[in-house]
Structure 1
Amino acid sequence: MLSTDPRTMNLVALGVAKLSFGSLSTMRRYLGNDLELGLIGFAVVLRTRRDWFEYVQHHGLTDAVIGMINSHKGYTTSIYEIANFTGISRATVRRKMAKLEQLGIVERTREGSWSLIDFQHGEPSRPALMLQEMLRCYITVTQTLEQLLPDEVDQAKALSAKEGAPVAPDALLEDEADDKRKRGQSLD
């Protein structure tokens, strides 16, 4: 159990604040002063990609699995699906999707659905640079917490492993991916 010692909790709170502020600042730098735009952009990722974390946990991160992940093109989504997932009105989602399209993050299919634009390996893109910066912030904060509070971090890891804590929110689980394939929403 995470300690309730104020000295420890102050460091945990500081770490979470650094991580959250760093992520929000990075989103602001790349997407402007529009938090909903980032929220909708990440929702598109979660509604168009399989939850590979679960798959890797069951099958391991082998060369074959990495190949599957990299060759998977994803699925399409809709304004309706993103609005339901985020709780943001369809009119707002529609406007934000148009903005994400202008930024080169999503594209509209001929059928009117939406999909992510895949990054080209080796070519920097705004979304890839934003994600790299957010990951660096995450790694820096978590490594610092692991150094400062090794017992607390080990306990949190053990509890997560014991309870099988999912990495929430989920991306598309297998049954959802199957439903999208059946409806013709697969880009593969």
Structure 2
Amino acid sequence: MKKYTINILLLLFITSIAYSQTRDFKSFDRNSDKSIDQTEFNEGYSNTYNTYDTDRDGKISDREFYDASFNRMDRDQDGNLNEDEWEKGFDKQQRDYLPSNPYSKFDQNKDQQISQQEYRDSFTNSDYYDSYDTNKDGAIDRDELNKRTLSAWDKNRDGTLDENEFNEYHPYYIDN
């Protein structure tokens, strides 16, 4: 009986840890007012910065930025973007930065997938990175990433995120 009770308690503990680490709307909306302001967003999004700043130098280079963006689009994590991954990611991340969305244009070697290098090359002449580097110092800091990301998600431009805005974008930007 004692062993059974310990196992149940252990299972409940593990479940509560896993649940507490889920990064959903409610975990960001700290004051439960049904919207996420910049402060709440900064707190909830803080761990995501490290997935971009892979060398941990406190700034995101253009290569780190594009590699992290690519990895977020690569839903099956096979190191390439298939057409479905490209279309969904383009709609959620790049629509405002590229003139058009022909998958075949970015698949430079015509192998029916977009490699990480092809992805980087597709943004060479875009302002995707620069739109996040708001102080134009050649690197994206935590504050710039947080502000620009919230702004990109805030479709009604009220300065906060409602649950629909959050849920539309969070699978492409937040690590659970």
**What TM bracket, shorter-length normalisation?**
0.3 to 0.5
- TM-score where L is the length of structure 2: 0.32
Of Structure 1 and Structure 2, which has the larger fraction of its residues in helix?
A: 1
Where relative contact order (Cα < 8 A, 6+ residues apart) is larger, the structure is 1
